[in-house]
Amino acid sequence: MQIKSLSPEETRAFGAKLAKETNRGDVYALTGSLGSGKTEFVRGFVSALSTDAPVCSPSFTIVNTYHTDSFTIHHFDFYRIKNPDELIEIGFHEYIHNDAVCFIEWADMFPEVIPDKARYIRFKEEKGNVRIISIDK
């Protein structure tokens, strides 16, 4: 499925919509350049389920976790990771092989750690505020 977003609000609304068809254990692998809307999308997803957690980019922390009534959400960002060993150190595999929902920004940096069950969401920046968002399956 491919959608065209014309504003950050619209991208957040698409994220919120995905929350309705997400189940425990789902993993979303997000790809696309800087500023293409990955974090905005996750922000919309999380705020559809919880109002008490402002979503920040996990660039510096590698992972941010949100607890909602529906499920726990782990939001990863691989951008600043230099070596996949860092992921082993933080226990990445335990995070993704349980019933939490995971989002992984810059997933294509270490495709070897992305589980087969992951659904890819690709973000493409076009002129102005236009973003093309493609979701697997």
Ligand X SMILES: Nc1ncnc2c1ncn2[C@@H]1O[C@H](COP(=O)(O)OP(=O)(O)OP(=O)(O)O)[C@@H](O)[C@H]1O
- Where does this chain bind ligand X (CB under 6 A)? 5-8, 10-11, 32, 34-40, 57, 79, 105, 123, 129, 131
Query: DSSP character for 80?
Result: T
3-state secondary structure of 121: strand
- Nearest approach, Cβ of 109 to Mg ion (angstroms)? 13
| 57 near Mg ion, judged by CB under 5 A | yes
Chain position whose Cβ is nearest to ligand X: 37
Task: Give which of ligand X, Mg ion, none residue 71 binds (C-beta under 5 to 8 Å, depending on kind).
Answer: none
Q: Which is nearer to ligand X, 17 or 97 (CB)?
A: 17
CA 75 to chain centre: 6
Whole-angstrom distance, CA of residue 4 vs CA of residue 6: 7
| 61 near Mg ion, judged by CB under 5 A | no
Are 102 and 28 spatial neighbours (Cβ–Cβ below 8 Å)? yes
Q: Which is nearer to ligand X, 25 or 124 (CB)?
A: 124
Closest CA to 107 of 99, 98, 116: 116
What is the contact surface with Mg ion in residues (CB under 5 A)? 38-39, 57, 105
